[in-house]
């Protein structure tokens, strides 16, 4: 797989920390900034997800690429993933097909998670079009309570860096981010 696109098709229903928790950490006691702080909280989560190739609260993602890999293993460069919902592709005739789950196995415990084609099967040929392969996954640690504390602290630190006169620290954010990042995350899919 060469070029890869990640599209969130079902956003999380909650953030890793609540607005009330963020307001306490920022020492904000009024409600007039609640809308802006809610947007800041979402932006912080999305930035940390981008920086770490991790998803924190359950969400659905389409991972699209131009083709299947040349080898047997398809790495899914997001973690954690709890389920591969479907794999579809555009065949050489230009029709969208579903690759049957019986044709592959998943290893969702590894980082990065991966899909391996069955021994008796090959990845199908695809049309030469952008995003010919789509893998739909459920990603995230689950509910907000399951999100690692390092992620919650990094989100707060990012919000501090972007909220008025708060005392945010970029080095602290980077250190927390690095604890969440996994080796090899810079490699192409």
46 and 52 in contact (C-beta within 8 Å)? no
pLDDT at 14: 97
Distance of alpha carbon 39 from alpha carbon 99, whole angstroms: 38
Which tokens sit at 78? 């997001």
Whole-number pLDDT of residue 185: 47
Helices (H), the chain: 19-26, 34-52, 149-162, 170-180
| pLDDT in the model for residue 189 | 35
pLDDT of residue 186: 43
DSSP 119: T
166-171, Cβ contacts within 8 angstroms, sequence gap of 24 or more: 166/26
Structure tokens at 143: 């509910």
pLDDT given for residue 183 in this prediction: 59
Q: Which of 177, 164, 166, 163 is nearest to 45 (CA)?
A: 177
Asked if 161 contacts 170 with a C-beta cutoff of 8 angstroms, the reply is: yes
Which residue carries 């927390």 as its tokens? 176
Show pLDDT as tens, one digit a residue, over the chain (189 residues): 468 999 999 999 999 999 999 999 999 999 999 999 999 999 999 999 999 999 999 999 999 999 999 999 999 999 999 999 999 999 999 999 999 999 999 999 999 999 999 999 999 999 999 999 999 999 999 999 999 999 999 999 999 999 987 788 899 999 999 999 875 544 433
Rounded to whole angstroms, the Cα distance separating 176 from 149 reads 9
What's the DSSP call for residue 43? H
User: Is this model's pTM higher than 0.85 or not?
Assistant: yes
């Amino acid at each position: 797989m060469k070029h890869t696109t990640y599209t969130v098709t079902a956003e999380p229903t909650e953030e890793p920390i609540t607005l009330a928790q963020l307001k306490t950490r920022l020492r904000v006691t009024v409600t007039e900034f609640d809308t802006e702080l809610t947007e800041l909280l979402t932006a912080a989560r999305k930035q940390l997800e981008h920086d770490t190739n991790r998803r924190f609260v359950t969400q659905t993602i389409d991972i699209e690429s131009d083709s299947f890999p040349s080898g047997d293993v398809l790495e899914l460069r997001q973690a954690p993933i709890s389920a591969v919902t479907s794999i579809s592709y555009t065949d050489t005739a230009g029709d969208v097909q579903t690759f049957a789950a019986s044709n592959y196995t998943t290893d969702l415990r590894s980082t990065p998670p991966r899909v391996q084609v069955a021994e008796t099967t090959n990845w199908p040929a695809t049309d030469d079009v952008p995003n010919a392969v789509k893998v739909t996954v459920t990603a995230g640690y689950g509910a907000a309570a399951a999100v690692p504390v390092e992620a919650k602290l990094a989100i707060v630190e990012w919000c501090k860096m972007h909220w008025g006169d708060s005392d945010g620290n970029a080095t602290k954010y980077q250190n927390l981010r690095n604890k969440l990042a996994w080796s090899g995350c810079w490699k192409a899919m």
